[in-house]
């Protein structure tokens, strides 16, 4: 049995495969997450993201391949893995008839902490995740954001080496989301806990993650630091909102020199080019020649959402208030 202190990578997978019947939900995923990192794990719905997480936290056995978490083999030492991880999943399993303190006390005792250790740990967590006076109120009186923070505290009560956060801010208002972000950063910075984060919000991954991995159709399509992935796009993006048929506007721009790709999405086009500043006026003139009005024409550098679109053919929605945060299916690039 390996010792959990003697490892460099908090999470590794080698050739990870999971089949459901004839479907390969996870198809040969190789992951490396160094100790102390915040790793963002992204993918369209049905891409295999949840299946990977369930295998990492010992809830689902792989069909083949190898997984280590906190230095332990998930198949050989699942009990050790569970004792060294914390998990705050999408649906917090909280008893509304308990107080926050009662829930954390129970969680601590389940992990074998003494009464004194539990008391000390609750005191530390009260400040770390900003529960405050609500600790002695019934959980049934908590807001959604407060329940998420309590669930986070419960996942941290035994001082895990690796923390799994599955869409921790879905459905929260912008203020609550911002507070959770600060708490996640603080936990990582102060405790050096490795954090494996899944999220529906691209700006969340961009703001929090040291590196991200994007899974698509069961395969890890790309992984790296957000800045590196955006730089690897190697293009400027001209965003066009035509006054009329988007497909007609896309056809009009296909013959413009130095255009490397045109992505049509809802009411806008994204034109990829190596020199956007030089091309933006040409794009405007070409559309005008074809009798296509332009409501908006902007030049910008690539975002993580553009990387996601390029890799998966889908685009993430932005912050709450614009939809439910789920992935939208995207038209494939025209060029």
Query: CATH 3.30.70.980: which residues of the chain?
Result: 230-329
d(CA 185, CA 183): 5
Instruction: Check residue 59 and give its pLDDT.
Output: 95
Tell me, which fold does domain 9-226 have in CATH?
Rossmann fold (3.40.50)
What are the residue ranges of helices labelled H in the chain? 49-56, 78-83, 100-110, 115-128, 144-156, 174-191, 202-208, 226-232, 246-253, 276-289, 304-312
Rounded Cα–Cα distance for residues 72 and 3 (Å): 7
pLDDT confidence of residue 58 = 96
Query: What is the arithmetic mean of pLDDT over 139-148?
Result: 90
* DSSP states of 53-118: HHHHTTSS--SEEEEEETTEETTT-HHHHHHTEEEE-SS----TTSBHHHHHHHHHHHTT--HHHH
Segment 220-239, tens digit of pLDDT: 999 999 989 988 876 789 99
Q: Minimal CA–CA distance to 146: which of 203, 212, 100?
A: 100
Dist CA 222 CA 215 (whole Å) = 7
Give mean pLDDT, residues 39-64.
Answer: 93
CATH 3.40.50.300 residue window(s) in the chain: 9-226
Q: Which fold has domain 230-329?
A: Alpha-Beta Plaits (3.30.70)
pLDDT by residue (tens digit) across 234-278? 678 999 999 988 899 999 999 898 888 888 877 888 898 888 888
- Rounded to an integer, the average pLDDT of 12-21 is 97
pLDDT band at 305 (very low <50, low <70, confident <90, very high): confident
Q: pLDDT tens digit string along 158-193?
A: 999 999 999 888 888 888 888 889 989 999 998 889
Which two structure tokens, joined as six digits, stand for 257? 């020199």
- Residue 327 pLDDT > 60: no
Pairwise CA distance, residues 143 & 137, whole Å: 12
Mean pLDDT, the chain, whole residue set? 87
């Amino acid at each position: 049995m390996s010792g959990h202190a003697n490892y460099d990578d908090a999470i590794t997978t080698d050739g990870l495969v999971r089949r459901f019947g004839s479907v390969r939900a996870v198809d040969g995923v190789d992951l490396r997450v160094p100790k102390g990192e915040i790793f963002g794990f992204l993918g369209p719905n049905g891409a295999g993201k949840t299946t990977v997480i369930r295998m990492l936290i010992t809830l689902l056995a792989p069909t083949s391949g190898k997984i280590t978490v906190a230095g332990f083999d998930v198949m050989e030492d699942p009990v050790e893995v569970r004792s060294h991880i914390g998990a705050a999943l999408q649906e917090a399993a909280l008893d509304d008839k308990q107080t926050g303190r009662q829930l954390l006390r129970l969680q601590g005792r389940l992990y074998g902490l003494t009464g004194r250790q539990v008391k000390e740990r609750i005191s530390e967590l009260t400040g770390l995740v900003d529960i405050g006076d609500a600790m002695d109120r019934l959980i049934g009186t908590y807001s959604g954001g407060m329940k998420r923070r309590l669930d986070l505290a419960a996942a941290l009560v035994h001082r895990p080496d690796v923390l799994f956060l599955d869409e921790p801010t879905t459905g929260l208002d912008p203020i609550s989301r911002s507070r959770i972000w600060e708490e996640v950063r603080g936990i990582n910075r102060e405790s050096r806990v490795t954090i494996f984060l899944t999220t529906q919000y691209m700006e969340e991954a961009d703001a929090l993650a040291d590196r991200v991995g994007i899974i698509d159709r069961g395969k890890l399509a790309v992984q790296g630091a957000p800045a590196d992935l955006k730089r690897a796009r190697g293009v400027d993006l001209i965003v066009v909102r035509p006054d009329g048929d988007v497909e007609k506007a896309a056809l009009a721009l296909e013959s413009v020199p130095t255009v490397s790709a045109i992505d049509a999405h809802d009411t806008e086009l994204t034109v990829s080019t190596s020199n956007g500043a030089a091309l933006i006026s040409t794009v405007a003139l070409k559309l005008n020649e074809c009798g296509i009005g332009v409501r908006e024409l902007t030049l910008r550098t690539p975002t993580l959402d553009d990387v996601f679109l390029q890799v998966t053919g889908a685009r993430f929605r932005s912050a709450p208030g614009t939809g439910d945060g789920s992935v939208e299916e995207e038209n494939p690039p025209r060029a």
